[in-house]
Structure 1
Amino acid sequence: MGERIEFYWLPHCTTCQKAALFLEERGIALEQRRDLKMEPLTRAEVERLARLVGGARELFSKRARKYRALGLDKRELSDDEMLRLMAEEYTFIKRPVLIIGERAIAGFTPKAYERFLQR
């Protein structure tokens, strides 16, 4: 593939495991994996990932337990609020995040990864 590949994940997340297996079955080696819990992202890193995936809304996970617990589901969050929350709490980051070169995708479905890899 030649381009730099980055993979941000949680090792115990089944969706992340499925994505890693999907890539490995296609001969894409994930030599560098970053555990979002063990190696939290800085605000600058979150901003970079958001830019690469198409914005904070594409990177922000509304499935995080804290999303409802904090009442965030009852109001509209600004991009800045989402970026702050993701930098403070890894569970707000939609995962896994796959970066190839300067392109990225957050979350995993086989169909979305197929399209992403064909670009």
Structure 2
Amino acid sequence: MKKFYYLSTCDTCKRILSELDLPSDFARQDIKTDPITGADLEALRHLAGSYEALFSKRARLYKERGLKNQTLREADYKNLILEHYTFLKRPVTVLGDRIFIGNAAKIVSATKEALHS
């Protein structure tokens, strides 16, 4: 699978999308207009190793709901990501059996290298 999960209203996602110069065979999914499905999330979890790895602790709702003061389990991370798109750390790039999660410079660099090598 070759897929890029992003938020079209996010400037960082837009910048990374243009930096990556994804090949035309890549599927692009705007998680705001086309929410992630349970099956998609399960496939991502399989590649990432956990739902927590896919979870954004920088989301506004994370702070508003006081989730940082709670002990969240894997099922909680899964349900929160499915409940609201902002809980998915983004962007997420899937390239076959490899997954790249987030917008850290080293992740973006590793994604570019994997795409164009």
Q: Common fold, TM-score beyond 0.5?
A: yes
Shift of 1:11: 1.0
Query: Which residue in the other structure is 1:15 paired with?
Result: 12
For 1:17, the aligned partner's letter is K
Q: Following superposition of structure 1 onto structure 2, how do residues 1-119 of structure 1 map, counting pairs within 5 Å?
A: 4-24=1-21, 28-29=22-23, 31-118=26-113
Residues of 1 paired with 2:2 and 2:41: CA distance? 17
Consecutive unaligned residues in structure 1, runs of 5 or more = none
Shift of 1:63: 1.0
Shift of 1:52: 1.4
- Partner of 2:57, secondary structure, is coil
Residues of 1 paired with 2:39 and 2:28: CA distance? 19
User: Is the 1:43–1:84 contact (alpha carbons within 8 Å) kept by the matching residues of 2?
Assistant: no
Residues of 1 paired with 2:44 and 2:78: CA distance? 10
Question: Cα deviations across residues 36-71 of structure 1 (Å, max 9, x unaligned)?
Answer: 011111222212112212311110001111111111
- Partner of 1:15, secondary structure, is helix
- Partner of 1:67, secondary structure, is helix
Q: How many residues align?
A: 113
Calculate the aligned-residue CA RMSD, in Å: 1.7
TM-score relative to the length of structure 2: 0.85
User: Is the 1:61–1:94 contact (alpha carbons within 8 Å) kept by the matching residues of 2?
Assistant: yes
Residues of 2 paired with 1:14 and 1:68: CA distance? 21
